[in-house]
Chains A and B, each alone.
Chain A
Amino acid sequence: MTRRNTPSKKLLPKGQHDRNSAQVSAYDDNASEASGPNASGFSYLSENGLKNSTEERCEHVLSVTNVNVAARLFVKKLEARKGECIHIIGPNGAGKSTLLLTLAGLINPDTGEVSLYNKPMSHWTLASLSSVRTVLAQHSESSFHLTVKEYLSFYTVIQQRPFVPALLEKALEVSGFLDKILTQLSGGERQRVEICRALLQIWPQLERGEGIVLLDEPLQGLDIRHQYALASLVKALCVKGNTILMTSHDIALSANYSDSLWIMRKGEVFAAGEPRAVATQNILEKVFECHFAISKHDNFLEIQVCAPISL
């Protein structure tokens, strides 16, 4: 992990960085915290005035209650508001992908309930879900030699011009290889195509600001420029009103580009809340078992990994 200085002016208004105590919902499997969502870190949006009053009227887009998946994921309570940009971080095997796929309705929890727009996931059909939310999963391999354009066309719901919408093209820059063969792309190019495919699936909804996007490690394989371009695209889509959750291994980027940071460890959500509140030395060192140097600047959080604790 390297240091990344990320000026993100609209994200964190000045004077916010001393409020960590009120915002933290660390150890949120602790029952008293979990029972009241407003006591946890999720209420900050309406407090800090970053989002206007529409947020208060809005229902939770996604919520998870007492979910348990195959001894891999144990979540007491989690909620995502409309327009929220949530980054999920945690070590390997912490359950990030499982949580994401559970939220997407692609994994059925053994116990507990996931609701989308206050309707239990079991009441949604795959077809109706597909026009509300989209998912980018890890490791999709194709052994067929399709062109990128053909591949994307299968997931495009409406025929638009240009083929790749300008907003997507700006961040993902896929137009250059629309005629290339999918399997001949480099890892990062392939990843950009995959992100583009996932977003095209609900593009009309995303343009109206009604979409829900779940991205599992979208930054994987991207070069540094495209990583930040993607993080900005995600922010921009959230500002429109879309709700986006993504997992990431880049703590510094995630802390600066998210509205809310969920930190996972061993299948549990260890801390969740506003990045300035939860990305603390204490929490990060406990979860990632590394030494961190964190300094809070006016408009960004500088997080630097020093060394693994055990070495």
Chain B
Amino acid sequence: MNRRTAVTLVLSTVLIALVISVAGIIGVPGLSDTTVELKRHIIIQLQIPLILTAGLVGAALSVSGATLQVVLRNPLADPGIIGITSGASLVAALLLLLTPSWAASYLHYLLPLGCFVGALFTTFIIYRLARKLLGSSTAVILAGIAISTLSGAIIAWLYMFSDANALRNLTFWLMGSLYQTNWLILCVGGPLIVVSVGLQLYFAGDLNKLYAGELAAKSSGVDVAKLTERALIACAIAVGSAVSMAGSIAFVGLLIPHILRLVIGHNNRYLLPLSALSGASLLMLVAFSSEMTRAITLPVSMVTASLGGPLLIWALAKGQIKG
């Protein structure tokens, strides 16, 4: 299978998934016998934000995953593994559990902002720490694991001192949920994701040159330090916005790029845009399935991890990922 057929195949599969999920989500309120007025309200206030959130978050996570893997030259890099997500989650947990009751009504707006700051802050710490310690891309991952372990520990401590309601809120946040958003949050997070994902697509050509290592990339005219810095910041913005909209969603950033590499190869000029589309359609499908089972709200991570685990094992078996 040459690249052109592979790209066409992936593209058409993804587009079919997109159409099915969008039509499905929009069509859901039509199944019940509600008035036209109410239907329109549901579609505009609930279903469309849901679709947009799913699409944007999916695109942000999978493109950031693909970029991080190349920038850190480690196929196991993922926004979750290197700690960006956990920084955002920690801030979310702090806000959810420690906000005094009088400020509770602002929490809805504080949370996304807090997550965003948390993601940027952890990226900054990880990057500085890594530069200071070893200056290698492995160090970035080690520092990321350290940071995410630490924030996981702090979140666990917070669990012990919080009431039941806050705990339930927090659990959903940590497992990811597409139902937290509204138009206001979308208006802030949406453009940020579009810009930061766009930036990463713009880096695609330079990212290709990183495959041969830092010196080779520099030899072929890529300022590796600057590229790493910019790509990390773009990832932090994308992931921070994604976490602020939908909580922490596991695995998408690892899963989508790896499966795509198996099918279409490693050229980031194709890989990044297709990652964005596939990530978006995957989360839209999750949203769709979540809409179909409306009695219970499925945490997104539960679905992505259940899908992702077996798929990743398959990718491992095909020899795509080497530890």
The yes or no answer to A18 lying at the interface (CB within 8 A) is no
Query: Nearest Cβ in chain A — how far from B148, in angstroms?
Result: 21
Contacts of B265 in A (CB 8 A): 146-147, 150
Query: Nearest Cβ in chain A — how far from B82, in angstroms?
Result: 15
The yes or no answer to B208 lying at the interface (CB within 8 A) is yes
Query: Once bound together, how far apart are the Cα atoms of A150 and B215, in whole Å?
Result: 19
The yes or no answer to B40 lying at the interface (CB within 8 A) is no
The yes or no answer to B202 lying at the interface (CB within 8 A) is no
Query: Once bound together, how far apart are the Cα atoms of A268 and B104, in whole Å?
Result: 69
Q: Contact at A126–B221, with CB atoms within 8 Å?
A: yes
Q: Contact at B266–A150, with CB atoms within 8 Å?
A: yes
Which B residues from 197 to 244 make CB contacts under 8 A with A? 208-209, 211-213, 215-216, 218-223
The yes or no answer to A52 lying at the interface (CB within 8 A) is no
Q: Contact at B267–A154, with CB atoms within 8 Å?
A: yes
The yes or no answer to B39 lying at the interface (CB within 8 A) is no
Chain A interface main SS type: mixed
Q: Contact at B219–A134, with CB atoms within 8 Å?
A: yes
Query: Nearest Cβ in chain B — how far from A123, in angstroms?
Result: 15
Chain B's interface size range is 20 to 34
Report if A145-B73 is in contact (Cβ < 8 Å); known contacts: A137-B213, A151-B211.
no
Contacts of A146 in B (CB 8 A): 211, 265-266
The yes or no answer to A127 lying at the interface (CB within 8 A) is yes
Q: Contact at A144–B266, with CB atoms within 8 Å?
A: yes
Contacts of B75 in A (CB 8 A): 143-144
Contacts of A201 in B (CB 8 A): 219-220
Report if A126-B216 is in contact (Cβ < 8 Å); known contacts: A144-B211, A154-B211.
no
Query: Once bound together, how far apart are the Cα atoms of A35 and B219, in whole Å?
Result: 31
Report if A142-B211 is in contact (Cβ < 8 Å); known contacts: A131-B221, A147-B265, A183-B322.
yes
Q: Contact at A126–B213, with CB atoms within 8 Å?
A: no
Q: Contact at A197–B212, with CB atoms within 8 Å?
A: yes
Q: Contact at A155–B320, with CB atoms within 8 Å?
A: no
Contacts of A153 in B (CB 8 A): 267
Contacts of A137 in B (CB 8 A): 213, 215-216, 219
The yes or no answer to B319 lying at the interface (CB within 8 A) is yes
The yes or no answer to B74 lying at the interface (CB within 8 A) is yes
Query: Once bound together, how far apart are the Cα atoms of A128 and B222, in whole Å?
Result: 10
The yes or no answer to A271 lying at the interface (CB within 8 A) is no
Contacts of B219 in A (CB 8 A): 104, 106, 130, 133-135, 137, 198, 201
Query: Nearest Cβ in chain A — how far from B221, in angstroms?
Result: 3
Q: Contact at A126–B223, with CB atoms within 8 Å?
A: yes
Report if A142-B213 is in contact (Cβ < 8 Å); known contacts: A150-B265, A150-B267.
yes
Which B residues from 286 to 323 make CB contacts under 8 A with A? 319-320, 322
Query: Nearest Cβ in chain B — how far from A200, in angstroms?
Result: 10
Cβ-defined partner of A140 (8 Å) among B212, B222, B267: B212
Query: Once bound together, how far apart are the Cα atoms of A133 and B218, in whole Å?
Result: 11
Cβ-defined partner of B209 (8 Å) among A139, A147, A155: A155
Query: Nearest Cβ in chain A — how far from B93, in angstroms?
Result: 33
Q: Contact at B212–A194, with CB atoms within 8 Å?
A: yes
Query: Nearest Cβ in chain A — how far from B258, in angstroms?
Result: 10
Interface hub of B73, B216, B267 (most chain A Cβ within 10 A)? B216
Q: Contact at B218–A126, with CB atoms within 8 Å?
A: yes
Contacts of A150 in B (CB 8 A): 265-267
Query: Once bound together, how far apart are the Cα atoms of A140 and B218, in whole Å?
Result: 12
Q: Name the residue on B nearest A151 (C-beta).
A: B211
Which A residues from 135 to 168 make CB contacts under 8 A with B? 135-137, 139-147, 150-151, 153-155
The yes or no answer to A287 lying at the interface (CB within 8 A) is no
Report if A140-B215 is in contact (Cβ < 8 Å); known contacts: A147-B265, A154-B208.
yes
* List of 9 A-B pairs having minimum Cβ-Cβ separation, nearest first: A130-B221, A140-B213, A137-B215, A135-B219, A154-B208, A127-B221, A146-B266, A130-B220, A126-B221
**Chain B residues with a Cβ under 8 A of chain A:** 70, 73-75, 208-209, 211-213, 215-216, 218-223, 261, 265-267, 319-320, 322
**Chain A residues with a Cβ under 8 A of chain B:** 101, 104, 106, 126-131, 133-137, 139-147, 150-151, 153-155, 183, 194, 197-198, 201
User: What would 26 A/B residue contacts be, using CB atoms closer than 8 Å?
Assistant: A126-B222, A127-B221, A130-B221, A131-B221, A135-B216, A135-B219, A136-B216, A137-B213, A137-B215, A137-B216, A137-B219, A140-B212, A140-B215, A142-B212, A143-B73, A143-B74, A143-B322, A151-B212, A154-B211, A155-B209, A155-B220, A183-B322, A194-B212, A197-B212, A197-B216, A198-B216
